[in-house]
Structure 1
Amino acid sequence: MPYAGWSDFSFDGIGTRWEISTPEPLTSAVRQLLLDVVEDYDRSYSRFRNDAVIARLGQDAGSITLPVGAADLERLFRTLYRLSGGAMTPLIGKSLEQLGYGADYALRPLGGPLPAPRWEDALRWDGREISASEPVVLDIGAAGKGQLVDLVAEALLSAGIPGFVVDASGDMLHRGVQPLRVALEHPYDPSRAIGVVELRDRALCASAANRRAWGDGLHHVLDGSTGRPVETVVATWTMAATAIEADALATALFMVEPDVLEDEFDFSWLKVYSDGHAAFSAGFEGTLFS
């Protein structure tokens, strides 16, 4: 619970733990509203559900229609696909399945790394409409959880709740007057922190190779151009106005130099490399422990 005396509403959704903290307890109607927002998103975008809308593209070539927010995902992914030279792509799903991270959570590789299909060859994405020329496994996880954090926040605001903290297992959005001090989890020891930051009226998102890791050097942050896990970076944190941008940029930092991203996005960042050294932007206000 971020502040003394606040109330927490906790639940599981999209495979992660959610904690919604508010000054007063949420009514049953608002709680149900939040659960519905999360369920609707999961039913549209989850690659782990056979009944999800995007699952149809994994079965056969064809077209689907997604919710309004799909246009925001398209713009963001298209920009990061270009800036990363194809390394960050929503077509990474089959590459993840190849290394064992599929709907059955087998965590046993099916073979060697498999590069993702080229966007320009396999996919036509125009706002809410997506068409695939071949069966593809879309995975919008690099930005999806952040977008859902934003949607949950919008639901709280629409219910007349101006101050809150939405925490989706470390991807956070804060609204309110009093800043929130947040510990930054050590990438090799979840029981420790490498520093703290103050969060106020912004989103804070993280990506770490240890969060979903299995086997020898296998984890969920893949370079789409090779299908291999990124080895040079172990953890990133970003702060931005929205959680969808913070979430996507935290993943992009594994593959793109920060100055390239800063040319097109307004955000602050911290990046920890596999050799142990860290780099951070001037706007990432906080304290790193020695």
Structure 2
Amino acid sequence: MTSPGMDSPAAVHDWVFDAIGTRWTVTTPAPLSADVVDAVRAEIDRIDLAWSRFRNDSTVADMARAAGRYPIAESDQPLVDWYRRLYRLTRGAVTPLVGQTLADAGYDGVYTLRPAASVSAVPAWDEVISGHDAALELRRPALLDVGAAGKGFAVDRVATIVAQVTDEFVVDAGGDMVVSPRTRPLRVALEHPMDPNKAIGVVSLDGGAICASASNRRVWADWHHIVDPRTASPAWEVLATWVIAPSAMEADGLATALFFTPAAFLRGDFDHHAEGFHHVTIRRNGSVEHTAIPGLELFL
């Protein structure tokens, strides 16, 4: 994961709260107004009610119970479109249809963390989803999981609200961050995947988003939360990834995609800006791959 180095002179107030299973810190020059705080909380609650597979009253829970047509909020269409693109880029390795597999493995709504005797295979997109424009049209019930990009999406949504009232901010949700454009770059520590009290390096951000994915965060039995749908088993070759991209949704999804797909392949189809995206990948064999990230210092 990532954590910011608070060396910006304008970063003088932290609003810290817990939501969607993680600790959030919104850093601004001055405290946000009650109206903005309420707007942030309302948006996070809306996202959770729509997309959480850990609550029985969510739209995702409804999808798991019955096939049909489920309208997508206009604000959420980019998340669904990004998942479809990631599915194509990774040849099915990043998919929202991994939810039942994770639940069977023990990462379910009540966190039993006990794998079932039989773990469901992950269905192909077109087997389940017949349409995803303005509504998800399900041919059959399916338990979705948008964890690969959903937290980044939520961070982007919160950053959009905060940006309406201040030009200087950092929105950090458990290490997935959006940093406002700035002339003095923000130093961000890259958390050691085996020891959260250490860093494996630092990067400098003058704006944009950075997200991380690591296989050591949610671990139980012989499982962790990053599952390869093609084998219905955990991905073991990669230990941790970090991605810098224009949005947290993109960075979050790409950080997961790097567990399955070479960066060069992903970069060849990432046309959102001239530099594509930056990344650091650490494999279990100790090898490290990274792009020429501005201000990157590695301590490995």
TM-score normalised over the length of structure 1? 0.95
Higher deviation after alignment, 105-114 or 56-65: 105-114
Taking the aligned partners of 2:105 and 2:132, their CA distance within structure 1 comes to 29
Higher deviation after alignment, 58-67 or 279-288: 279-288
Using the TM superposition, give the Cα deviation of residue 279 of structure 1 relative to its aligned residue in structure 2, in angstroms. 0.5
Matched with 1:250 is 255
Q: Deviations over 1:125-170 (max 9, x none)?
A: 3223012111100111111111111110110122x21110000000
Using the TM superposition, give the Cα deviation of residue 228 of structure 1 relative to its aligned residue in structure 2, in angstroms. 0.7
Matched with 1:289 is 299
Query: Residue 163 in 1 paired to residue 172 in 2?
Result: no
Matched with 2:281 is 271
Matched with 2:84 is 78
Taking the aligned partners of 1:125 and 1:287, their CA distance within structure 2 comes to 44
Taking the aligned partners of 2:297 and 2:34, their CA distance within structure 1 comes to 39
1:239 counterpart (231, 244, 249):
244
The correspondence of residues 165-244 of structure 1 with structure 2, limited to 5 A, is 165-177=170-182, 178-216=184-222, 218-244=223-249
List, as ranges, runs of 4+ consecutive aligned residues in structure 1 with deviation greater than 4 Å. Answer: none
Matched with 1:51 is 57
Taking the aligned partners of 2:173 and 2:231, their CA distance within structure 1 comes to 29
Aligned residues of 1:91 and 1:138 also touching (Cα < 8 A): yes
Aligned residues of 1:70 and 1:128 also touching (Cα < 8 A): no
Letter paired with 2:195:
D
Higher deviation after alignment, 109-118 or 238-247: 109-118
Matched with 1:111 is 117
Q: Across the two proteins, how many residue pairs are aligned to each other?
A: 288
TM-score normalised over the length of structure 2? 0.92
Using the TM superposition, give the Cα deviation of residue 74 of structure 1 relative to its aligned residue in structure 2, in angstroms. 2.4
Matched with 1:100 is 106
Query: Residue 149 in 1 paired to residue 187 in 2?
Result: no
Aligned residues of 1:53 and 1:66 also touching (Cα < 8 A): no
Matched with 1:134 is 140
Higher deviation after alignment, 166-175 or 56-65: 56-65
SS at match of 1:142: coil
Letter paired with 2:161:
A
Taking the aligned partners of 1:75 and 1:249, their CA distance within structure 2 comes to 14
* Gap runs ≥5 in structure 2: 271-275
Taking the aligned partners of 2:76 and 2:260, their CA distance within structure 1 comes to 23
Aligned residues of 1:182 and 1:196 also touching (Cα < 8 A): yes
Letter paired with 1:167:
D
Aligned residues of 1:238 and 1:268 also touching (Cα < 8 A): yes
RCO comparison, higher one (Cα < 8 Å, 6+) = 2
2:21 counterpart (2, 12, 15):
15
Letter paired with 1:9:
W
Q: Deviations over 1:48-76 (max 9, x none)?
A: 11111121110121221121133212221
Using the TM superposition, give the Cα deviation of residue 215 of structure 1 relative to its aligned residue in structure 2, in angstroms. 1.4
* Gap runs ≥5 in structure 1: none
Taking the aligned partners of 2:26 and 2:37, their CA distance within structure 1 comes to 10
Taking the aligned partners of 1:114 and 1:126, their CA distance within structure 2 comes to 23
SS at match of 2:110: coil
Aligned residues of 1:114 and 1:228 also touching (Cα < 8 A): no
